[in-house]
Amino acid sequence: MSFEVEKTVSLRNYNALALDATAEYFCRLCSLDDVHQALAFARANKLTITALGGGSNVVLKNTLHGLVALVELRGIRHRCVGDDVYVTIGAGEDWSSLVALSLRNHWYGLENLALIPGSVGAAPIQNIGAYGVELCDFFVSLQAIHTATGERREMDAKDCEFGYRESIFKRRERNNYLITEVCIKLSTQPNNRWQYPALRDALEAKLGDASAAQITPQLIAKTVADIRRAKLPDPARLPNAGSFFKNPLLDEQQLARLMVDEPQIPVYPAYNNLSKVPAAWLIERCGLRGYRAGEVGVHERQALVLINYGSGSAAQLLALCEHIQSAVEQRFGVCLEVEPRIYGSF
Ligand code: EPU
């Protein structure tokens, strides 16, 4: 398909929340040549570029000015070095399909990250994570193009400054780079990680008593997929962007204060003496699980997920977000940080 820029395009089908935003200009990037043409178009017309992957972790306000570039760069290649398998993946590949392919090929590591919606190129931006594993555990490097200068750059894990649902692409270099390719290191030897409480419980329910000998990467992937299907709504049926808030990290004092009211709350140790507590628990304790405000609401099985019931707008969704944040702040003195990236203007 030849490179083409369209004007005034609805992005409703390109974001998992099904928000009816409009791109001032829109193009698809299927090759590196397309990327360079898009950069040239943006430069010639003094436009900013917004790269869009699977749209599964974004909130789009009404209008996205400039050029919205849908990243559809494909291709997967691999190289074996002993037991290690270096897999290099085009940014436009689907994450969930990559996990399935890696398991079929007996390349292990990604099983806990099964069924996460979105594209491979978006994965490093928020350092996707689930069931005790994060992308940064396998990450080797990525290729990115600086949208303003066209300069190509290889970045390793240190350059990406990964944290919990964080990277340099959400902070200092926000919107400055277009990720074209990601390289990860998997292994032909299973290294099963199943101690995350919800995963361990589900495995025990399946196996009787989860003993390490019975657990395979395939079983972990299947179990993770089952948990996700049971808890998280399918964006194709109930538009949503996964977790809408990060789980807050509390220092010792904040945690001690919270534990007075909520002695039962699960606490996960994090780095720098901080503790992570589930935002979903706090939202639920404010009575907001299943809360609905017109066309938007809080999912009834997972309070961290906000839903667009059909014709909800970004304004309604962000109003609901503020309502939740202030309820949690007032009751617990804890500030909830929005997890997806917000683009555009009203
Ligand atoms: N909980 C509630 N109410 C709810 C849901 C959960 O009280 O409605 C409590 C439960 O006590 C549970 C705890 O929260 O023990 C944790 O719940 P869960 O295991 O579902 O995980 P989470 O902390 O809500 C995080 C990630 C998910 C990831 C799961 C599993 C973030 C922001 N979210 O959710 O990631 O799948 O852990 O590892 O860290 C995403 O990023 O979009 C996402 C879905």
Total Cβ atoms within 10 A of residue 124: 25
Q: How many structural domains does the chain have?
A: 3
Q: Which sign does the torsion angle of CA 327, 234, 52, 292 carry? A: negative
β-strand 139-146 against 133-134: which pairing, if any?
unpaired
Q: Is 82 inside a domain boundary?
A: yes
Shared-domain flag, residues 102 and 55: no
For residue 172, give the CATH number of its domain. Answer: 3.30.465.10
Shared-domain flag, residues 67 and 97: no
State if residue 304 touches ligand 1 by the CB under 6 angstroms criterion: yes
Active-site entry in 56, 243, 275, 313: 243
What confidence score (pLDDT) does residue 210 get?
Answer: 60
Shared-domain flag, residues 89 and 119: yes
- Rounded CA separation 112/101 (Å): 14
What confidence score (pLDDT) does residue 201 get?
Answer: 94
Shared-domain flag, residues 53 and 120: no
State if residue 280 touches ligand 1 by the CB under 6 angstroms criterion: yes
Shared-domain flag, residues 81 and 181: yes
* pTM for the whole structure: 0.95
Choosing from 53, 71, 89, the residue where a domain stops is 71
- Residue 243 designated active-site: yes
Shared-domain flag, residues 173 and 80: yes
- Residue 104 designated active-site: no
- Rounded CA separation 264/131 (Å): 21
State if residue 243 touches ligand 1 by the CB under 6 angstroms criterion: yes
Q: Is 84 inside a domain boundary?
A: yes
Contact (CB, 8 A) for 194 and 111: no
Q: Is 107 inside a domain boundary?
A: yes
What confidence score (pLDDT) does residue 213 get?
Answer: 78
- Residue 339 designated active-site: yes
> Over its length of 346 residues, how does the chain's per-residue pLDDT go in tens digits?
689 999 999 999 999 999 999 999 999 999 999 999 999 999 999 999 999 999 999 999 999 999 999 999 999 999 999 999 999 999 999 999 999 999 999 999 999 999 999 999 999 999 999 999 999 999 999 999 999 999 999 999 999 999 999 999 999 999 999 999 999 999 999 999 999 999 999 999 988 876 777 899 999 999 999 999 999 999 999 999 999 999 999 999 999 999 999 999 999 989 889 999 999 999 999 999 999 999 999 999 999 999 999 999 999 999 999 999 999 999 999 999 999 999 999 9
For residue 263, give the CATH number of its domain. Answer: 3.90.78.10
Shared-domain flag, residues 58 and 94: no
**E strand segments, 126-244:** 129-130, 133-134, 139-146, 152-156, 177-187, 240-243
Active-site entry in 96, 111, 165, 275: 165
For residue 48, give the CATH number of its domain. Answer: 3.30.43.10
User: What is the distance in A from the centroid of ligand 1 to the CA of 278?
Assistant: 6
165: which 2 tokens?
């649902």
Residue 142 lies in domain: 76-187
State if residue 112 touches ligand 1 by the CB under 6 angstroms criterion: no
What is the Cβ-side half-sphere exposure of residue 282, based on CA atoms within 13 angstroms? 27
What is the position in ligand 1's atom list of the atom closest to the CA of 303? 8
- Rounded CA separation 162/136 (Å): 7
Shared-domain flag, residues 337 and 283: yes
State if residue 299 touches ligand 1 by the CB under 6 angstroms criterion: no
